[in-house]
Every structure is written in structure tokens, then in C-alpha cells.
Amino acid sequence: MIIYLNGEFVTESDAKVSVLDHGFLYGDGVFEGIRMYSGCIFKLKEHIDRLYDSAKVIMLNIPMSKDEMISAIVETVKRNGLSDGYIRVVVSRGVGDLGLDPRKCPRPSVVIIADNIKLYPQELYTKGLSIITVPTRRNIPEALNPQVKSLNYLNNIMAKIEAVHRGYEEALMLNHEGYVAECTGDNIFMIKASVLITPPTSVGVLKGITARTVMEIAARLGMEVKEERFTRYDLYTADEVFLTGTAAEIIPVIKIDDRLIGEAKPGKFTWDIIREFRKITSVDGVKVI
């Protein structure tokens, strides 16, 4: 594997970051996960815009322009000979001292990794996923806004641990008020009476790029699309439920907290959306030639 590291392309074994980097010490930094399909880096511009927005919020100056970042990503993909895969872009605060002060970090570190990823077993994409609500609540926006894709994912990891120890692949997270927020790395959608509904960002969820794409697809299919607060009751009584994310793509959910959803199998609207999603993944983005 060839990795981009601060302006150079190095092998995996030579891709080394200092132990004094504040990304390692404190999770001080931002990242993006990006998919590539049939030589097309899907929604690359949207991902880069979100990366730079996250960096701006935490006052982290990325030491390259957006165009330079895109060029570095494309070159990393080419050097790894990928036509399908997963790209991880990481920008940390950089090397500093053992204190918190970001002023002690004169230059951010930039890392680009292009490889493959498998978030869930393949059979769950056809049969459907079972999830469970966990005690850990989603961060409140006033503490750490989930719109910032920071390197500190401990809130999500704690929820993942709780799900895994109960024998589940994924966890449902509620916000501090008890409303449905999202899963550990995915947005959540439900369909009720042909209406597609997902939580608004105000409950503490990431504005997902795959989620936004799904909403556009649903609208083109003639579905009514809503962003509104809802509770677990609404999920339990939904006709269909599915999760979306760059790494997860679109995965149906057939059981939540031991309640069967709809007919306990991936529903018609979910499959319609998945089929339309697959049509655009190899054309909506930046082609790597």
C-alpha cells in the first residue's frame, strides 16, 4: 500500500507519525471517508468541502488548497491501482508538546490512505441487519458538534462496544432528550406510509453525504421526504428502516430491540433506493483516468 504523508508517497511501513502529534495525543484533527466505484471517486467535491468545513470549525488550517487535496487523493488512488475502494483522508493538528495548546503545533499533518473496507458481513445487505439501542447518548451539539468529523470518535466507539458485547453488529444512539439520533457511523432512515423520514441535524447527527444522496433519490422516485424528530416507537412501527453511510453504503434493518420491522425483510422502497444509488455511484464524482 502506498500512502500520502505530508507531501510524499511512502510505503505503509514507512508511513509514520510522531507520538507528539496532537491527533495521536488528543484526537485533535478531522477526517473524511470517501468511496470509489469503477474508477469514480464518489461525491469527492462534497467530501472535500465537508473536510475543510470541519477544519475551519476547529481552527485547523489545512496546508494545501482544495484542488491540491483532490489531486493528492487522485494520485494516491492511482499509485495503489484501485478502481473500487475506500479512501481515508486525515488532517491532524500536527506535532506539538504534551500540552493541549494548539499554538504549539506549527504545521498540521496530512495523511491519505486508499484501500478497501468491509463494514458489515455481506449477507446482512440482502437479509437485513438487527440493531439495539445502547445506553451511551450521542454527543450534544453544544459540547462537540457531530457536524465536525473529528478524530475523537470515542462517543461512537463506546456505543459500538455496548452493541458488540450484546451480540449485535450495530448500535442505535439516542440524543440527550431521548430522540433517535443515528448509529455509530451511519445515518438512520425509516419509511412509513411511503414517506421517507430521517432525524434533523438539530438532534445531533452528522449531515451525511450518502444520506443526502438517498434523500434526493427518494424525491426523484416520487416519495415525500421529511427531516423530523422521532422516537423509538416510530422506528418500531415503521414499514421499513435502513442505514446509510460512506463505508456502510445502504443497509436494510429488519429488527430493532427485538421488534421486527415491517415484514422482517428488506422492503420494496429500500430496494428501489439501493438500485438507484448503484446507478449513480460510478458517474457522480471525479473520474480517475
Catalytic residues: 149
Output the CA angle 119-120-124, nearest 5 degrees.
155
Helix ranges (H only) for the chain are 22-26, 44-57, 66-79, 123-127, 154-165, 209-220, 232-236, 268-280
Cβ–Cβ under 8 Å, residues 29 and 150 = yes
Phi, psi for 16 (deg, rounded to 5): -120, 140
Cβ–Cβ under 8 Å, residues 70 and 160 = no
Cβ–Cβ under 8 Å, residues 224 and 253 = no
Cβ–Cβ under 8 Å, residues 164 and 132 = no
Burial 228-258 (b: 16+ CB within 10 A, else e): ebbebebbeebbbbbbbbbbbbbbbbbbbee
Which is it for the CA torsion 176, 205, 53, 79, positive or negative? positive
Cell 470541519 belongs to: 54
